[in-house]
Chains A and B, each alone.
Chain A
Amino acid sequence: MTDLTLAALLPALESRFGPDVKVLPSRKEVLGVVQVKVDRLVEVARFLHDQGTFTHCALVSGVDWIEHIEVLYHLWSDALKGYLEITVETAPEDPHVPSVTSIWRGANWHERETWDMLGVRFDGHPDLRRVLMPEGYRFHPLRKSFELHEPEELEVKARHV
């Protein structure tokens, strides 16, 4: 079953992985939205890569929902000509997600960026360093608890401490 049509793909995922995979209502600009349990992520990814023709991992990103952190994967299939959206939920304190770099090398820097910006640790990543902020920076700026200020405000604060 190398050439899955879209109609066959999502049921195949559900039957293979059972309750660990949940197909969410789709939007018109993606092929489908699939929610995956964290511990089965690599298996699902391998299945999609090998049997679902999703050869190109376009984007790995994350969203801070305060109650939890959502990690998003957008995968492109040349056969189906569209993007599949995979979402994974993880805890806000010390979030851990398995890395998919062993399947798509292109995910490497996207995962580094997600670690840099949101503080999500990708287990099994070969080289999880900060990529945009300098090494040794203490914050993860895209967390909602990190707020922006006018530079003067910061200076005033620093002077009054």
Chain B
Amino acid sequence: MSEMWINMGPQHPMTHGLWNLRVKVDGELIVDVDPEIGYLHRGIEKICEYRRYNEVVTLMDRTCYVAGIAWEQLYIMAAEEALNISPPPRAEYVRVLSQELQRLSSHVMWYAAYVQDIGLMTPFLYGMRDRDLILDLFQSYTGARMTYEFMRVGGVRNDVPVGFTDRCRKVMDWFDQRLPEYEKVCDNSTIFLERTKGIGVLKAADCVNDGVTGPMLRAAGVDRDLRRDRPYSVYPELDFDVAVYDAPDCYGRYRVRMEEMKQSVRIVRQVLDWLDRNPGPVLAEKVPRFVGTPSPPPGKEIYVERRGYPKGRGFSAMEEPHGEAMAYIINEGAEHPYRAKLRSPVFVNIAASKDYLVGYRVSDIPAIMGSVDICVGESDR
């Protein structure tokens, strides 16, 4: 049979964003793949060098648009490290609350889009409806549905409003009912099981060497979750289990995400209880003024000459809904970061696509790439 290259993308129903999967096929069989990204490269790392520390938060929301608040916290943790500021405990709890709500909404969004790709329409409507409930919660304390601009160096912008915890508990009760129903829709569907079981296998050793992280790694049986293994924020004080599954295929990834949603609900409940018991400030007292006040953007000479403030480097890593994200901030004593580097888990997961696509059929591509949970804003930055 003759082989040929075909382009799937940049506009393709499989891609969930804009990227181009070039596949070399022999009949129906995939022989080679060459993913091409960068169609949404917006130069965020460069623009960060022209923004105040608090202004960068705006860009972080847009970096990953299904998990904006996760990237806010990632950046803020690195920036706090670089500027040597620590937030009050209540701020940390509000952050963790946002984290877990965001993980829930991101996974629900994934569920809605993925199962629709496989051929079931109901989950899309279920998912979008329940996701809106979480976004309503976000809206009630951050003011926005997707792009929050909520975190600040040294804390968060505002506390949760009165009556929020009760409203949130109600939504969590609702999710307790819904999550088993989600699973029922998929596990009783022969189409879903046939199209996900044993498809897109990436073994544990390959996962580790390829740098693949997140639900893909845990589905392969590697028990690593930065929330537990390299604790940040107040996760050590919370009680939760790490979801691990021993089938490195699409079905395993679905299982891991389902389990993570349940754990998120559990964490949110604990945080709500803590918030009810412990009032307090949510923004640190002694934050240098320059982190927020506006000034003209710097030229090259400002980088070199105006280095009056204390210097420092900050590194943070966290378990984002898609995998392990990292930020690296260099503070050269100026009012803007000297360098901001972001590590996106999706970037690496796409890079490894050769290892889990070759050998399957063209018709498996939507099922496999969907199970990776791709967010192009994050991989291209």
Once the chains bind, are B211 and A58 in contact (CB under 8 Å)?
A: yes
Interface flags, A31-63, vs B, CB<8A=1, else 0: 000000000000000000000000111110101
Whether, in the assembled complex, A148 has its beta carbon less than 8 Å from a beta carbon of chain B, the answer is yes
Query: Which residue of B38, B297, B299 is within 8 Å of A131 (Cβ)?
Result: B38
Whether, in the assembled complex, B328 has its beta carbon less than 8 Å from a beta carbon of chain A, the answer is yes
Among B57-65, B180-188, B339-347, the stretch in contact with A: B339-347
Once bound together, how far apart are the Cα atoms of A77 and B8, in whole Å?
Answer: 36
Once bound together, how far apart are the Cα atoms of A72 and B313, in whole Å?
Answer: 13
3 A-B pairs closest in CB distance: A106-B211, A109-B351, A132-B38
CB-defined contacts of B300 to chain A, threshold 8 Å: 144-145, 147
Do most interface residues of chain B lie in helix, strand or loop, or is the interface mixed? mixed
Q: List the B residue with the shortest CB-CB distance to A107.
A: B211
Q: A59-B328, A59-B343, A109-B351 given. 13 additional CB < 8 A pairs?
A: A29-B314, A55-B208, A61-B341, A74-B315, A82-B230, A105-B209, A106-B209, A106-B348, A107-B211, A131-B38, A133-B38, A142-B46, A147-B299
Interface size on A, residues (CB 8 A): 40
Interface size grouping (class) on chain B:
35 or more
Interface flags, A101-134, vs B, CB<8A=1, else 0: 0001111111001000100000000000011111
Once the chains bind, are B326 and A58 in contact (CB under 8 Å)?
A: yes
Which residues of A are in contact with B by a Cβ distance under 8 Å? 27, 29-30, 55-59, 61, 63-64, 66, 72, 74, 78, 81-83, 85, 104-110, 113, 117, 130-134, 141-142, 144-148
A-B contact pairs, 14 of them (CB 8 A): A29-B314, A30-B315, A58-B211, A58-B343, A61-B328, A104-B209, A105-B209, A105-B352, A106-B348, A109-B350, A132-B380, A147-B300, A148-B46, A148-B50
Once the chains bind, are B37 and A106 in contact (CB under 8 Å)?
A: no
Q: List the A residue with the shortest CB-CB distance to B312.
A: A27
Query: Which residue of A27, A78, A109, A142 is within 8 Å of B45 (Cβ)?
Result: A142
Once bound together, how far apart are the Cα atoms of A159 and B300, in whole Å?
Answer: 25
Known contacts A61-B341, A117-B45, A148-B50; is-contact A81 B229 (Cβ 8 Å): yes
Q: How far is the CB of B222 from chain A (nearest CB, A)?
A: 8
Q: How far is the CB of B113 from chain A (nearest CB, A)?
A: 24
Once bound together, how far apart are the Cα atoms of A30 and B224, in whole Å?
Answer: 17
Once bound together, how far apart are the Cα atoms of A105 and B351, in whole Å?
Answer: 10
Q: Which of B210, B211, B351 has the most CB of A within 10 A?
A: B211
Q: Which of B37, B43, B81 has the most CB of A within 10 A?
A: B43
CB-defined contacts of A130 to chain B, threshold 8 Å: 38
CB-defined contacts of B47 to chain A, threshold 8 Å: 148
Query: Which residue of B38, B211, B313, B328 is within 8 Å of A57 (Cβ)?
Result: B211
Give residues of chain B (324-376) contacting chain A, Cβ–Cβ below 8 Å: 324, 326, 328, 330, 338-339, 341, 343, 347-348, 350-352
Once bound together, how far apart are the Cα atoms of A60 and B277, in whole Å?
Answer: 43
Q: List the B residue with the shortest CB-CB distance to A127.
A: B34
Q: How far is the CB of A72 from chain B (nearest CB, A)?
A: 7
Whether, in the assembled complex, B212 has its beta carbon less than 8 Å from a beta carbon of chain A, the answer is yes
Once bound together, how far apart are the Cα atoms of A81 and B226, in whole Å?
Answer: 9
Once bound together, how far apart are the Cα atoms of A58 and B313, in whole Å?
Answer: 18
Q: List the A residue with the shortest CB-CB distance to B81.
A: A29
Known contacts A29-B81, A57-B211; is-contact A106 B352 (Cβ 8 Å): yes
Interface flags, B302-327, vs A, CB<8A=1, else 0: 01100000000111110000001010
